[in-house]
Chain A
Amino acid sequence: MMRRSVFENYELYSPLATINPAVKLICSVVVMLFVSVVFDLQTLSLLTAFGALMVLGLGRMRPVVLVRALLPFLLFGIGFLWMNALLPRSAGTTLFTVGPVAISAEGLRNGMSFFLRALTFGVWSVLFVASTEPTRFVLSLVHQLSVPPKIAYSALAAYRYLPSLQIELEQIRGAHRLRGVGEAGGVRGKLQRAYRFTVPLLAGALRRAGRVAAAMEARGFTGANRTWYRKEGLRLRDAAYALGVFGVTAAVIWWGLHAGTLMLWSGRLWD
């Protein structure tokens, strides 16, 4: 059975999908870079909410799908929250105790901040991934970000190969199980199994890569002297999108500064 990859959820007809992929990528990356140095809960929640509203509104994504896509980030974030709440770096004000464990206000706040940061990363990644047609992304890498066509098209070929890699792994696993492999437990057993899966997978992947390269070359692909059937251009709406994202982010920063709530990274991970 074919498994669906994240890219297959893209909503082709949403306003967000019409934005130039390179612009969308840069906007998401800038927001994420900024978020990685922000520590206060207010700024983080505002930027998460802003991203979520964009995905649900401009991206036309159903809330259920968004939650499902965010699940790994949520779990990751909850892990952080739990760790920090339980193990605060500095003894602080004890909020309450659960049995022998004291939960401190500082630990909880640090945990929340890690949790929200994971969530912000998640939302802004989903925003890009779920609204971007892979082909347009590749074209825009070439046209706007000057990535060499050879590299961009190789990435596309690798992307197309991912689902069949999964199918192949499943087949190998099944075949090995039927030959009676797999009882050996422990680290050694696991390593042995990993080795046994890797060799056939790699052998298959290399052969296929050779075939793909030969076929592309025989169809005249060199990466140079190409013309383009579809060209990814920059339009007014792309500028509007970038302005919108940066504008709202700036407003959030300005408000935080003004109200004195903004906390940036001060060279320490914990205060």
Chain B
Amino acid sequence: MRDHPRVSERAAYAQSWTVRYPGTPAAALDSLTLSIESGERVLLLGPSGSGKSTLVSCLVGLVPHSTYAEIDGELTVAGKSVWDFAPAELAASVGVVFQDPDSQLTMLTVQDEVAFGLENIGLDPALMNARITTALESVGLSEWRFERVDRLSGGMKQRLVIAALLAMQPDILVLDEPTSNLDPAGVRSVVELLGKLCAERPGLTLILVEHRLDAVVSLVRRVVVLDAAGQLALDSPPEEAFGVHAGQLAALNVWLPSQAYARLAASRGELAEWSAPGRQMSAFKLSPESSGAPHRRPVLQFEQVSFSYRPGQRVLHDLSFAVHPGEVCAIVGANGCGKSTLAKLAVGLHRPDDGKVLFDGQPVADIPARTVADRLGLVFQNPEHQFVTDCVLDEVRFKVQGPEEEVRAASLEVLRALRLDEFINRNPFTLSHGQKRRLSAATMLVSPRELLVLDEPTFGQDPSALDELLRMLQTVADQGTAVVIITHDMDLVWRRADTVYGMQNGRVLTGQSPSEFFADLELLAQLGLEEPAGVRFGAARCESVGRSEG
């Protein structure tokens, strides 16, 4: 029935390919000319907004067929021009994995999910069983064949997406940040799978957009970099891209593998700063007991807290810890260990079953709604969740106490500092994602709070977002705000935390400084965490410090 795609030497070929979305002055992709041979492994990099995702959409035919855009040029994928073939017709030759596993899964059980794609391309049902078995085997999900999809972890779901594509036997696999919504264990399992695919399927063309470079850089043979204007900035083997061109990539605001970053930092004499733990300059020191001053009283205190959503199913057991003014405290641990529940208890959205959560000495859940916004803040992953007004300026000055003129001036100043001053009359929902995130930070910065809780602040962000966050943390901690960060991002912990609490099965372990915490490799393995890049280059740091002193 269906022609099998002619195996062409070229997996994908773009000539002066330009894409411009309506209502935007700049092109998303600007006269891109690029040829990818069959069986090549290509890493696609670029700052956010550089058109990486647009290119991915083009490669599978969603642009121009499903998303409206002005397009010029030629693009052929697996020998088929995307002008003439709709996504459904390209699906048998090219498969795509997106960021969020949940919105890519259609069916309710694992085997139905794999079958879904096969049904779509009209495969004879008699051949399906064998294809499903093989695909699930190759991603390590055979045992879960009859399991319900919603019972799988994030990493398993993403592997299931890959299995469903492999069953369709595509020539090209495009992966758009496949690990950015996963916890460390999920990232590991997906990266391992990618390595296995590269080794076992030499004919499969792999086009990968990914910022966890340490894990994938050894898999690719070629690095293609787009710049902020959507133009081709660099096309070279990884050794050159992350070697002689590392400075150029850093200037483009593109992630680098930590080894390349360390080399670059060393050449600029910044290695010591980059790989040092914690805030060396901060006034805060661990073991607050040592200073008996009254202002050292904890802002937030958990006293033997236990919590369950349903009777008999305890999520948190007997938690005790305290956070002091100006302290940045990180809570780390595998998914499902109770971190997010802890965050909700910390801001009083839940009440403990046993024990106490004290904020400035009184139960946090008893703080009246009138004053809560002034005293503590929670930054969610999705900045939209906390928008409550229709205009950017109102959003920032919402519920801020003080004379109107002063509040207005302070709000404008914060907006200027975060490069949002030209949008003060816009509706928050019309901003770009990065701008939304900065606005959400602005609402927290405009008046100093006693406590700030951040839930996975670096999830799926680019390097500039991380730098922004680090600057914001610096500011609030200097103002004396106690900060609690719930995170999987070990680099963030290493670079900004004063105290690290590991969490396991609803219990919190003793607080340690980042240097102590990451020195305990056994504990890290037990918690399913990885060493931050800064620690791995600790040796390099000593060397460079030695050099600069000598």
| Residues of A participating in the B interface, judged by any CB pair closer than 8 Å | 1-2, 133-135, 153, 156-157, 160, 163-164, 168, 171-172, 174-183, 196, 199-200, 203-204, 208, 211-222, 225-231
User: A179-B398, A183-B369, A230-B112 known; A200 and B387 CB under 8 Å?
Assistant: yes
Instruction: Find the A residue at minimum CB distance from B117.
Output: A219
Q: A135 and B112: CB pair below 8 A?
A: yes
Bound state CA distance, A222 and B108, in angstroms? Answer: 19
Those 10 A-B pairs whose CB atoms lie nearest each other, nearest first: A180-B373, A220-B91, A220-B120, A229-B115, A175-B386, A211-B103, A215-B104, A175-B385, A180-B399, A174-B349
Instruction: Find the A residue at minimum CB distance from B149.
Output: A160
Bound state CA distance, A219 and B60, in angstroms? Answer: 9
| 5 other A-B residue contacts (CB within 8 Å) besides A135-B108, A231-B125 | A160-B106, A163-B150, A177-B349, A220-B92, A226-B119
Q: B88 and A217: CB pair below 8 A?
A: yes
Kindly list chain B residues whose C-beta atoms are within 8 Å of the C-beta of A218. 60-62, 87, 91, 95-96
Q: A217 and B106: CB pair below 8 A?
A: no
Bound state CA distance, A168 and B380, in angstroms? Answer: 11
Closest-CB distance, A189 to chain B (whole angstroms): 12
Q: B369 and A182: CB pair below 8 A?
A: yes
Closest-CB distance, B476 to chain A (whole angstroms): 16
User: A135-B107, A135-B109, A211-B100 known; A220 and B88 CB under 8 Å?
Assistant: yes
Q: A219 and B349: CB pair below 8 A?
A: no
- Which B residues, 363 to 409, have Cβ-Cβ distances below 8 Å to chain A? 369-374, 376-378, 380, 382, 384-388, 398-399
Bound state CA distance, A38 and B180, in angstroms? Answer: 58
Bound state CA distance, A227 and B105, in angstroms? Answer: 19
Q: A220 and B370: CB pair below 8 A?
A: no
User: A134-B108, A171-B380, A177-B369 known; A220 and B121 CB under 8 Å?
Assistant: yes
Bound state CA distance, A133 and B107, in angstroms? Answer: 12
Bound state CA distance, A164 and B150, in angstroms? Answer: 11
Interface: B168 (CB within 8 A): yes
Bound state CA distance, A77 and B102, in angstroms? Answer: 39
Binary interface encoding of chain B residues 36-79 relative to chain A, with 1 for a CB under 8 A from any of its CBs, else 0: 00000000000000000000010011100011000000000000
Interface: B128 (CB within 8 A): yes
Q: List 14 A-B contacts (CB under 8 A).
A: A135-B109, A168-B385, A174-B347, A179-B386, A182-B369, A204-B382, A208-B103, A213-B66, A214-B67, A218-B61, A221-B120, A229-B118, A229-B125, A230-B112
Instruction: Find the B residue at minimum CB distance from A214.
Output: B62
Contact of A227 among B66, B103, B112, B123 (CB under 8 A): B123
Kindly list chain A residues whose C-beta atoms are within 8 Å of the C-beta of B105. 160
Interface: B359 (CB within 8 A): no
Q: A196 and B98: CB pair below 8 A?
A: no
Most buried by B among A2, A134, A215, A230: A215
Bound state CA distance, A176 and B377, in angstroms? Answer: 10
User: A135-B108, A219-B95 known; A178 and B120 CB under 8 Å?
Assistant: no
Instruction: Find the A residue at minimum CB distance from B59.
Output: A218
Closest-CB distance, A204 to chain B (whole angstroms): 7
Bound state CA distance, A178 and B387, in angstroms? Answer: 11
Interface: B471 (CB within 8 A): no
User: A179-B386, A204-B382 known; A228 and B100 CB under 8 Å?
Assistant: no
Bound state CA distance, A51 and B372, in angstroms? Answer: 52
Contact of A215 among B88, B98, B349, B371 (CB under 8 A): B98
Number of A-B contacts (CB under 8 A): 152
Instruction: Find the B residue at minimum CB distance from A193.
Output: B388
User: A135-B108, A219-B91, A219-B117 known; A175 and B380 CB under 8 Å?
Assistant: yes
Instruction: Find the B residue at minimum CB distance from A172.
Output: B385
Interface: B122 (CB within 8 A): yes
Q: A227 and B100: CB pair below 8 A?
A: no
Bound state CA distance, A230 and B126, in angstroms? Answer: 11
Most buried by B among A171, A212, A222: A171
Instruction: Find the A residue at minimum CB distance from B118.
Output: A229
Closest-CB distance, A183 to chain B (whole angstroms): 5
Kindly list chain A residues whose C-beta atoms are within 8 Å of the C-beta of B314. none
Kindly list chain A residues whose C-beta atoms are within 8 Å of the C-beta of B67. 214
Q: B429 and A217: CB pair below 8 A?
A: no
Q: A221 and B388: CB pair below 8 A?
A: no
Q: B117 and A226: CB pair below 8 A?
A: no
Kindly list chain B residues whose C-beta atoms are within 8 Å of the C-beta of A227. 118-119, 122-125
Bound state CA distance, A160 and B168, in angstroms? Answer: 24
Contact of A217 among B66, B118, B128, B388 (CB under 8 A): B66
Kindly list chain B residues whose C-beta atoms are within 8 Å of the C-beta of A133. 108
Contact of B88 among A180, A182, A208, A222 (CB under 8 A): A222
Interface: B164 (CB within 8 A): yes
Q: A160 and B108: CB pair below 8 A?
A: yes
Q: B116 and A219: CB pair below 8 A?
A: yes
Kindly list chain A residues whose C-beta atoms are within 8 Å of the C-beta of B376. 178
Q: A217 and B117: CB pair below 8 A?
A: no
Q: A214 and B370: CB pair below 8 A?
A: no
Interface: B11 (CB within 8 A): no
Bound state CA distance, A226 and B116, in angstroms? Answer: 9
Instruction: Find the B residue at minimum CB distance from A196.
Output: B388
Kindly list chain B residues whose C-beta atoms are within 8 Å of the C-beta of A226. 119-120, 122
Closest-CB distance, A149 to chain B (whole angstroms): 9
Instruction: Find the A residue at minimum CB distance from B62.
Output: A214
Interface: B344 (CB within 8 A): yes
Q: B88 and A221: CB pair below 8 A?
A: yes
Kindly list chain B residues whose C-beta atoms are within 8 Å of the C-beta of A222. 86, 88, 120
- Which B residues, 192 to 229, have Cβ-Cβ distances below 8 Å to chain A? none
Closest-CB distance, A30 to chain B (whole angstroms): 28
Q: A178 and B106: CB pair below 8 A?
A: no
Q: B96 and A178: CB pair below 8 A?
A: no
Interface: B165 (CB within 8 A): yes
Kindly list chain A residues whose C-beta atoms are within 8 Å of the C-beta of B103. 208, 211-212, 215
Kindly list chain B residues whose C-beta atoms are within 8 Å of the C-beta of A160. 105-106, 108, 150
Bound state CA distance, A141 and B10, in angstroms? Answer: 43
Kindly list chain A residues whose C-beta atoms are within 8 Å of the C-beta of B115. 229-230
Q: A228 and B98: CB pair below 8 A?
A: no
Q: B443 and A179: CB pair below 8 A?
A: yes
Instruction: Find the B residue at minimum CB distance from A7.
Output: B108
Kindly list chain A residues whose C-beta atoms are within 8 Å of the C-beta of B377. 178
Q: A219 and B165: CB pair below 8 A?
A: yes
Bound state CA distance, A58 and B387, in angstroms? Answer: 50
Q: A200 and B373: CB pair below 8 A?
A: no
Q: B309 and A220: CB pair below 8 A?
A: no
Q: B119 and A200: CB pair below 8 A?
A: no
Bound state CA distance, A208 and B98, in angstroms? Answer: 12
Bound state CA distance, A212 and B57, in angstroms? Answer: 14
Contact of A174 among B88, B108, B378, B398 (CB under 8 A): B378
User: A135-B112, A228-B125 known; A178 and B309 CB under 8 Å?
Assistant: no
Q: B309 and A1: CB pair below 8 A?
A: yes
Bound state CA distance, A181 and B372, in angstroms? Answer: 10
Bound state CA distance, A221 and B119, in angstroms? Answer: 9
Kindly list chain B residues whose C-beta atoms are within 8 Å of the C-beta of A164. 102
Bound state CA distance, A204 and B382, in angstroms? Answer: 9
